[in-house]
Amino acid sequence: QQFLVNFFAAHIEAEKVKRDAAVSTLPGGKPSPCVRLPEKLSNRDMAARIVAAAAREPELLKGPAVTLAQRTLEHDFPCPEGPNTPG
């Protein structure tokens, strides 16, 4: 549970940095896929999604946990496609 709390806190901070870089026209570094989180996401639901992602891409288990969590978000919660899609 603590990992998920820390992961989402870091994710929020990273999004703020990307937004600030875009606003000030500074290079934002390597672009990452757009993720749109749902209004509510329980720790249990996120943990189940991470387990499913590990089953889908077992090679992710060899890397950092944060990479597995990020790939889970990218797969399960992509931004909608469209002309106003951020990122």
Instruction: Express each pLDDT in 4-33 by its tens digit.
Output: 888 888 888 777 777 665 554 445 555 667
Say what percent of the chain tops pLDDT 90: 30
Instruction: Express each pLDDT in 21-78 by its tens digit.
Output: 555 444 555 566 788 888 898 889 999 999 999 999 999 999 988 889 889 999 999 9
Query: Residue 22: left if φ>0, alpha if ψ -120 to 50, beta else—which one?
Result: alpha
Helix (H, G, I), strand (E, B) or coil at 81: coil
Q: Which of 35, 38, 40 lies closest to 69, judged by CA?
A: 35
